[in-house]
Structure 1
Amino acid sequence: MEKKANLQETLLALETQVWNALVTGDGDADGALLSEDFIGVYPDGFAGKDAHTGQLDSGATVAEYRLSNVQVRATGADSGLLIYRADYLRVGKSDWEVMLVSSLWQKRSGGWVNSFSQDTPLTGEGVP
């Protein structure tokens, strides 16, 4: 198992590649980082790999982003959960948005892939 600092560095670098794909509109780069069984849990519902990469069919979706408050939890010998805050500006918008993100990365035969992600909008509302 990678040491916690190394695991965080590795997973953050991979997650940054996903965000860079959203900025450049590179669906192939995005898809290379997602497992075939990827599932995302988003404010508008569930999405598989095709939906995640498909959002880039018309080009970039994110103009700028900043990742902060990064944490990592080792979930096994070859997996880890990256948890962070994402401040981002969508293409064509003027207001920044904030999501709290949890991404599960697994080391499989082809290398590290993202198999699960949950994005929670930061609304400031308490838990019911």
Structure 2
Amino acid sequence: MTADKIAFFVALETRVWQALTLGDKQAYLALLAPEFLGVYPSGFASLAKNLSTFEQAPGFAPSYALSEARIMDLAPGLVMLSYRAVFQRVADAQAKVMYVSSLWRRQEDEKWVNVFSQDSLAHASTNG
């Protein structure tokens, strides 16, 4: 796994975070597959459910950090990116840490889309 390949997928994931923090529904929609499935501490979320969050003000503060990225090539055109995210919700006073795994699929037009994401909040002892 080259550093360039990791950087490429971190850049894609960063675009997802940017869309969330800016409330940019069109940018978000362009990055996720129609069959997207999110697995979160709150439960399962389809693309439609995720898009409903854009009806409100952005829930994430614009400052976040993605680190400790690693990737797994699962099949041709299918890559799992896993990383640590430090983020803050607008309504929260303190930053939180979660570990994220996102499955990216290359489409026939060579564009990469996110088809699956699972977020796991870190225990308080690892928030640092």
TM-score for the superposition, normalised by structure 1? 0.89
Offset at residue 71 of structure 1 (A): 0.6
More strand by percentage:
1
TM-score for the superposition, normalised by structure 2? 0.89
AA at the equivalent of 2:118 = Q
Deviation per residue, 1:7-57 (Å, 9 max, x gap): 312211110000001110111111110000000000011001111122121
The aligned runs of 1:1-128 (5 Å cut-off) are: 4-63=2-61, 64-110=63-109, 111-123=111-123
SS at match of 1:37: strand
Cα gap change, 1:97/1:22 in structure 2, threshold over 3 Å: closer, same or farther? same
Separation of aligned partners in 2, 1:74 and 1:59: 36
Runs (4+) of structure 1 moved beyond 4 Å?
none
Separation of aligned partners in 1, 2:90 and 2:115: 26
SS at match of 1:54: helix
Q: Structure 2: which 5+ runs fail to align?
A: none
Query: How many residues in Structure 1 have an aligned counterpart in Structure 2?
Result: 123
Offset at residue 124 of structure 1 (A): 5.5
More helix by percentage:
2
Separation of aligned partners in 1, 2:60 and 2:11: 18
Separation of aligned partners in 2, 1:6 and 1:49: 29
* Pairwise CA RMSD: 1.5
CA contact (8 A) 1:18 1:30 kept: yes
Separation of aligned partners in 1, 2:25 and 2:36: 15
Q: Structure 1: which 5+ runs fail to align?
A: none
